[in-house]
Chain A
Amino acid sequence: MSSFLDIQNLSCGYGNGFRTHDIRLTLAEGSFAGIIGPNGSGKTTLFRGISGSLPLKTGRILLEGEDLSTLSWREKAQKLAIVSQFSQIADLTVEEYVLMGRLPFRRQFQFFDRKEDIEIAHHYMQLTNTYRLRHKSMEELSGGEQQMANIASALSQHPRLLLLDEPTSHLDITHQMQFLNLIQRMNEEMKLTVMMIVHDLSLAAEYCDFLLMMKDGTTYCQGLPEEVLTYEHIEHVYNTVVIVKTNPVSGKPVVFPVSERRLRDGNQEIR
């Protein structure tokens, strides 16, 4: 197989019956894939299956030809990093927190941090604009700053695959764009492969080059943003009436919601 990430027929789930099933996905190196779908459609479950937090019921995940289930936690941590919507933060300074990203690369009896690790952490702190906050406690940071420190830590892990679970959904638009632009840069410059769960469909279209749309625990459709984000698909998956137009600058689809009252008023021609 020449593909970078190959998810074959994946099913995984919780004890209570909810599961994600029959997911097939192949991504080339340097893809920026968006995972979209309503709440409860199995997006996070899929991520937990990929990261190994949930055991797979069927299927395999190959990353650069290696079956992830055969790797140890440490080997996995050297290949993939995860940033979720909310992170557990302890009473750590930003620098300590970002340095945690280097833990998968420590030697057996290494006690102190190597100079190289500190340099890597500082590099990503500068990229994420958190270097100036390095001596502050994580708890003192705003939500946006915390998320930037979070991505700095994940990038310090030098992952081959980066999983982002709604990373920007509680951020203001400044931090949202700052975050996504940075990911886009890493994606282009370092050929970092990214999978991102995202709720904002227009953002998904703007940043991702591939979309996987999920419904009821499985794939509804996948492909280029223009192919996936049609109003028929969205209305069917989300049970919501929307209008899809094209962003005049980027040429990507933009999704506009329509309120119930407007619909009642019979403004049918807008389509």
Chain B
Amino acid sequence: MQQEQGRWAIYVLLLLAALTGAALLSLGMGEISIPFADIPRLLADKESTEYGVLAYIRIPRTLLGFAIGGSLSLAGAILQGIYRNPLVEPYTLGISGGASLGVTFAIVSGLHLLNVLFLPLAGFIGAFATIFLVYTLSLGKGGLSVNRMLLIGVMISFISSSLMMFLMSVTSAENIHGIVFWIMGSLNESNSTMITLMVVLSVFCLLVSYLFVMPLNALRLGEEKARHLGFNANGVIRILFIITSLLTGACISVAGIIGFVGLVIPHIVRLWVGTDYRILLIASFLSGSTFLILCDVLARTIIAPNELPIGVITGIVGGVAFILLLNNTKRKELKARNV
């Protein structure tokens, strides 16, 4: 057990180092390349062009990548734990569908022209309405049923995407472009209050989730066993569902739909650090942050000066990396069994 703690400390240090590296890369790379060593000096010189690029474009972007990547990955790790289903991710429960519907509605009705903040607000309202629906509908006779929740979430996803298609079919081409652009997701957010909020929220949720690591550990053995080990499994699942949903809703409202982070990163991290939630949660958060910051660097440098939607990069890089890794571990396992 002593060695266990040492192992965990090493994981965290490695991940913090990777995160720092990714952040530096993100600050340095782009249309104007800025050497790492010059960053402190340039930040002191408020007159330079580089200062403007750093302070108004790259630092907010990197912070947002940190918050969104970490949040989605954390939410994925927790949801996979409470649903005991490896295919669950933050978007499975219909939250992304609800948020997209909200945004689509805002764009189609022209609300976003009144105030830019209406767009994320509509997204958040959509997400929140979905969470509420999924939660109340899955409160069956015998209390909260996890499978029921999952099914209802998936159904609500379908319903909202159909409604969205309906709205898109009756609106103008310009609006459709706006909707599609939003759905593809981006870390391009200029409102600094929103970025600060997102960073605070993500770190706060990470801390709160640590109050539930032991019940999450017990839930690995099923709800009934968790109860026999002294945890109010239903209560824990309820609270965690609400926390992760709100977190996901906030992420989508700010950055649109960035897929794959919440599904793949917790899986990869689990293969690496093991299934103990005491290390899994922080490792998932840091890995998600690092991954999204790096994907963002790729998204804005590959076809510079234009920018690719970040979802394109996360999907391709994440999916391919995961398949390779899975293949690799399988081969290793087979080898270990043959020896």
Instruction: State the A residues within 8 Å of B (CB).
Output: 15, 51-53, 72-78, 81-82, 87-92, 96, 100-101, 103-104, 106, 111-113, 118, 157
Contacts and interface: CB of A to CB of B under 8 A. Distances in A.
B221 A90 contact: yes
A65 B5 CA distance: 42
Contacts of A87: 221, 225
B278 interface: yes
Given A92-B220, A112-B5, 15 more contacts: A73-B227, A77-B228, A77-B229, A78-B230, A82-B228, A88-B222, A88-B225, A89-B221, A90-B275, A96-B276, A100-B217, A100-B229, A103-B214, A103-B231, A113-B1
Contacts of A104: 229-230
A88 B275 CA distance: 15
Nearest to A91: B275
21 contacts: A72-B232, A73-B231, A75-B230, A76-B230, A77-B228, A81-B228, A82-B228, A88-B221, A92-B220, A96-B276, A100-B229, A103-B214, A103-B218, A103-B229, A103-B230, A104-B230, A106-B214, A111-B213, A111-B278, A112-B5, A157-B229
Contacts of A96: 276
B276 A73 contact: no
A165 to B, nearest CB: 11
B230 A73 contact: yes
Interface residues of B, number: 23
Contacts of B214: 103, 106
B218 A112 contact: no
Nearest to B231: A73
B217 to A, nearest CB: 7
Interface in B251-310: 274-276, 278
Nearest to B233: A73
Given A90-B275, A91-B275, A77 B230 contact: yes
Contact of A100 (B1, B221, B227): B221
B224 A53 contact: yes
Contacts of B1: 112-113, 118
B275 to A, nearest CB: 6
B142 interface: yes
A2 to B, nearest CB: 27
Interface in B199-231: 213-214, 217-218, 220-222, 224-225, 227-231
Contacts of B142: 15
A74 B5 contact: no
B230 A52 contact: no
A112 B278 CA distance: 9
Nearest to A95: B1
B227 A53 contact: yes
Nearest to A112: B5
A52 B220 CA distance: 20
A118 B5 CA distance: 14
A120 B217 CA distance: 19
B87 to A, nearest CB: 16
B275 A51 contact: no
A113 B4 CA distance: 11
B33 to A, nearest CB: 43
Nearest to A114: B1
Contacts of B229: 77, 100-101, 103-104, 157
A96 B214 CA distance: 12
B41 interface: no
Question: 8 closest Cβ contacts across the A-B interface?
Answer: A77-B230, A104-B230, A74-B230, A90-B220, A88-B222, A103-B229, A88-B221, A73-B230
Nearest to A163: B228
Nearest to A90: B220
Given A53-B227, A81-B228, A15 B141 contact: yes
Contacts of A90: 220-221, 275
A52 B231 contact: no
Contacts of A113: 1
Interface in B226-247: 227-232
**Which of B218, B224, B230 counts the most chain A CB atoms within 10 A?**
B230
Nearest to B228: A82
Contacts of B278: 111
Contacts of A92: 220, 275
Contacts of B225: 87-88
Contacts of A101: 229
Contacts of A15: 141-142
Contacts of B228: 51, 77, 81-82
Contacts of A112: 1, 5
A92 to B, nearest CB: 7
Contacts of A77: 228-230
A52 B227 contact: yes
B221 A73 contact: no
A153 B217 CA distance: 14
Contacts of A53: 224, 227
Nearest to B5: A112
